[in-house]
Amino acid sequence: METSPSTTQQPVTVLAVGDIGPDRENAGELFALNQDLLRSADVTFGQLEFVLSDRGSRLPQVRHTVRAKPQDAQALVDAGLDVVSFAGNHCMDFGAEAMLDTAANLSSAGAKVVGVGTNITEARRPAVIERGGTEISFLSYSSVLPHSFWATENRPGCAPMRAFTVYEQVEHDQPGTPARVHTFAHREDLSALVEDVRREKALGRFVVVSVHWGIHFIPAVIADYQRDVAHAAIDAGADAILGHHAHILKGIEMYKGVPIFYSLANFAMDTRVTPEQVATVAFQEILALNPGWVPNFNSTFNFPPDSRKTIVAKLTVEDGKLSGIGFLPGWINDNSQTEILNGEDPRFDQVVDYMRTITLEAGLNTDYKVDGSEVRPVAINGDEL
């Protein structure tokens, strides 16, 4: 039976970028080198790091943070963002009031917000966008959580996907020797995530799951719980997994033909630091996680050298199914702006080579094929589209 023109689904392009955190007078400047690309997609998704509010007070359990402005919400939407996740370890930096302000400001500007709410029911609620006859459902959770940042039945916060850590001493008769690190997903949180995915899939939607997770600044390494959560989400019906938080790229895994982008790294992150901040014990401990990390007090971008490299994930959806997977390599300058690279730029190969290296080190099953200025993940064992 032929499909009527009114019900024919058109191909839909979804772009997803890494962490976003404006800390400047004109937040729109952060997207000057890439907004044409972001606007060209049918749907563009990003992860917000800073609150967009002038209310609330900094909570005592918060480490490094800054406050962005309410009007920055409009700058993000003007740059092309359609869906913004705020589930992360900074969502409650200035309390529930500022978190809810941020969601409201983004919604007023025209973006759909996912991952936070006045209670756990709202925090788990998807952001659904219809394009070309296809409904795309975005679900968002966080595994990196200062205490009480997660929502409950009667407390605002983000949707949690918590994990536990166990340290196993390898040589029991050798005190102080290195230990094996094991991580395990919080069973109730994982069950809730799986339930959310199954519900959205049963409604006939293309399901994208975003998780703020992982090991920041340390190259290549992926925690055990990340693989468990991603595989469980895909087993439940998820069509793509997007990872944030690590601030450096991590490898891509193909599981049952579904891509797991373990970390999309940074995209538009202002990170000014002062000599006084860098001198603290806490900051020195973070610097030690990535050799070669030297703060630049004249730059708005203070991250390890690896963090210059980034990617924009690209998904093509046809008839409600994933028909194309790729990414666009990018490079972040001293003004925290991501430049999208073409295949002739030598930095393009640096990003692709880096992805190959960290993917191999993490033991993932993926290689990368270059097609002009795009890169396609290909499962080594044939587990691909």
For 13-56, write each residue's pLDDT tens digit: 999 999 999 999 999 999 999 999 999 999 999 999 999 999 99
Per-residue tokens: 380? 């080594």
pLDDT interval class at 64 (50, 70, 90): confident
Q: How far apart are CA 346 and CA 313, in angstroms?
A: 20
Count of beta carbons in the 10 Å neighbourhood of residue 61: 11
**DSSP-assigned letter for residue 245:** S
**Given this model, what pLDDT does residue 3 score?**
41
**Given this model, what pLDDT does residue 292 score?**
86
Helix (H, G, I), strand (E, B) or coil at 168: strand
Specify the residue for token string 């296809």. 134
**Given this model, what pLDDT does residue 63 score?**
83
How confident is the model over 184-190, as a mean pLDDT?
98
Count of beta carbons in the 10 Å neighbourhood of residue 42: 18
pLDDT at residue 381 above 80?
A: no
Which amino acid, one-letter code, is at 348? F
Query: What are the pLDDT digits (tens) for 296-317?
Result: 999 999 999 999 999 999 999 9
**Given this model, what pLDDT does residue 6 score?**
46
**Which of 170-179, 273-282, 340-349 is modeled with the greatest confidence?**
340-349
Helix (H, G, I), strand (E, B) or coil at 141: strand
Specify the residue for token string 């055990």. 224
Q: Domain spanning 10-161+187-272+298-379: which superfamily?
A: Metallo-dependent phosphatases (3.60.21.10)
pLDDT at residue 129 above 60?
A: yes
How confident is the model over 78-93, as a mean pLDDT?
98
**C-beta separation of 30 from 337 below 8 A:** yes
Q: How far apart are CA 189 and CA 124, in angstroms?
A: 11
pLDDT at residue 7 above 80?
A: no
Q: How far apart are CA 259 and CA 313, in angstroms?
A: 10
Phi, psi angle pair for 369, to nearest 5°: -110, 130
Query: What are the pLDDT digits (tens) for 192-241?
Result: 999 999 999 999 999 999 999 999 999 999 999 999 999 999 999 999 99
How confident is the model over 238-265, as a mean pLDDT?
98
Estimate to the nearest angstrom the gap between the alpha carbon of 175 and the chain centroid: 38
Which amino acid, one-letter code, is at 299? S
**C-beta separation of 243 from 211 below 8 A:** yes
Nearest to 227 by CA among 265, 184, 188: 184
Q: How confident is the prediction for the chain on average, in pLDDT?
A: 95
**Given this model, what pLDDT does residue 1 score?**
38
**Given this model, what pLDDT does residue 8 score?**
63
Per-residue tokens: 308? 């210059």
How confident is the model over 238-249, as a mean pLDDT?
98
How confident is the model over 169-173, as a mean pLDDT?
91
Nearest to 44 by CA among 92, 141, 110, 94: 110
% of the chain exceeding 70 in pLDDT: 97
| DSSP notation for 50-67 | SEE-S-S---TT--S--E
Query: What are the pLDDT digits (tens) for 318-341?
Result: 999 999 999 999 999 999 999 999
